[in-house]
Amino acid sequence: MTMSQVRSLLPTLVRRLLGLPIFYKVLIANSVIVVGGAVVGTTLTLLSTGNTEHLPELVALFATTGTLLSVVINWIVLRAAFQPIAALEETADQVRQGNFQVRAPSVAFSDPDLDALTATFNAMLDTVVAYQNRLRELSLRVLTAQEEERRRIARELHDDTAQSLTAQLLRLKMLEDRGGVTDRQTLSELIGQTAATLESIRAIAHELRPPSLDDLGLPAALEGLAAQQRQRFGLPVTVTIRGPRRRLDPDVELALYRIAQEALTNVAKHAQAGQAQLQLSFENGQVTLEIRDDGRGFDIGQLPSRHGGLGLFSMRERAQLVGAELTLASTPGKGTVVRVTAPLSPQAVAGFFDHRRDTATETPVTMEAHR
Which DSSP letter does residue 30 get? Answer: H
Query: Counting beta carbons within 10 angstroms of the beta carbon of residue 83, is it exposed (0 to 12), middle (13 to 18) or buried (19 or more)?
Result: middle
Dihedral sign, CA of 152, 153, 157, 161? Answer: positive
Residue 120's identity, in one-letter code, is T
What are the tens digits of pLDDT across the range 189-209?
Answer: 888 888 888 877 877 777 777
**Please, which contacts does 356-363 make with residues 24 or more away whose CB atoms are closer than 8 Å?**
358/241, 358/243, 358/244, 358/245, 359/244, 361/242, 361/243, 361/244, 361/283
Cα angle, residue 162 at apex, residues 156 and 164 outer, rounded to 5°: 105
Q: How far apart are CA 298 and CA 270, in angstroms?
A: 10
Q: How far apart are CA 173 and CA 152, in angstroms?
A: 30
Mean pLDDT by 10 residues, the chain (371 residues): 65 66 70 73 68 68 74 74 81 88 79 82 91 83 75 79 83 78 78 83 77 88 90 89 90 92 89 92 92 88 52 83 90 91 66 37 35 31
Q: How far apart are CA 258 and CA 318, in angstroms?
A: 8
The DSSP secondary structure of 105-132, one letter per residue, reads PP-SS--HHHHHHHHHHHHHHHHHHHHH
* pLDDT at 324 (0 to 100): 93
SS3 of residue 307 by DSSP: coil
* pLDDT at 5 (0 to 100): 64
* pLDDT at 263 (0 to 100): 92
Helices 250-266, 218-233: crossing angle, 10 deg rounding:
20
Phi–psi pair at 57, nearest 5 degrees:
-65, -45
pTM given for the model: 0.56
* pLDDT at 23 (0 to 100): 64
The domains found in the chain, sorted by start residue, are 3-81 (no CATH), 217-368 (3.30.565.10)
